[in-house]
Amino acid sequence: MDAAFPPPGDKQALEHGDVLTPRFGQDGLIAAIATDAATGEILMFAWMNDEALRLTLETGEAHYWSRSRGELWHKGATSGQIQTVVEARVDCDQDAVWLKVTAQGDGGACHTGARSCFYRVIEGGALRRTE
């Protein structure tokens, strides 16, 4: 499959231009963070490849790349926790994506059953569950 996005331009175009030219890493992936559109709570961090980002923007539902399974992943396709994208942003040098989403189903995002994948606090080198 051909790339869905044009290659990044020079620094000026990348940082100040109006063309989406995501900078995928050597592994073909870009970092993606999903937050609750209403509260701003961080729900999860994941990776996207070219196809996942393209499908997310085309369908309005979050798609990611599972490094552990080596496959495209439509968030919520089996769990019902579909993430409807309210807004998509890219950082200044276009190597990270931020999705503001509304989570369907029970509103959870983590495969462990927690609402957020960030459900533990680090205290004195130990982990404490927050929910």
Please give the DSSP secondary-structure letter assigned to residue 95.
S
CATH of the domain at 28: 3.10.20.810
DSSP H stretches of helix in the chain: 11-16, 50-59
The total domain count for the chain is 1
Vertex 58 angle, CA 82 and 21, to 5°: 115
Cβ proximity of 101 and 89 under 8 Å: no
Classify residue 2: in a domain, yes or no. Answer: no
Q: What's the pTM?
A: 0.91
User: What pLDDT, on the 0 to 100 scale, is given for residue 97?
Assistant: 98
Classify residue 96: in a domain, yes or no. Answer: yes
Can you tell me the mean pLDDT for 9-32?
93
Percent of the chain with pLDDT over 90: 77
User: What pLDDT, on the 0 to 100 scale, is given for residue 94?
Assistant: 96
Classify residue 5: in a domain, yes or no. Answer: no
Q: Which domain holds residue 25?
A: 11-129
Classify residue 1: in a domain, yes or no. Answer: no
- 105 by DSSP, 3-state: which? coil
Classify residue 30: in a domain, yes or no. Answer: yes
Q: What is the pLDDT of residues 81-117, one digit of tens each?
A: 999 999 999 999 999 999 999 999 888 888 888 889 9
Classify residue 122: in a domain, yes or no. Answer: yes
User: What pLDDT, on the 0 to 100 scale, is given for residue 90?
Assistant: 97
Percent of the chain with pLDDT over 70: 98
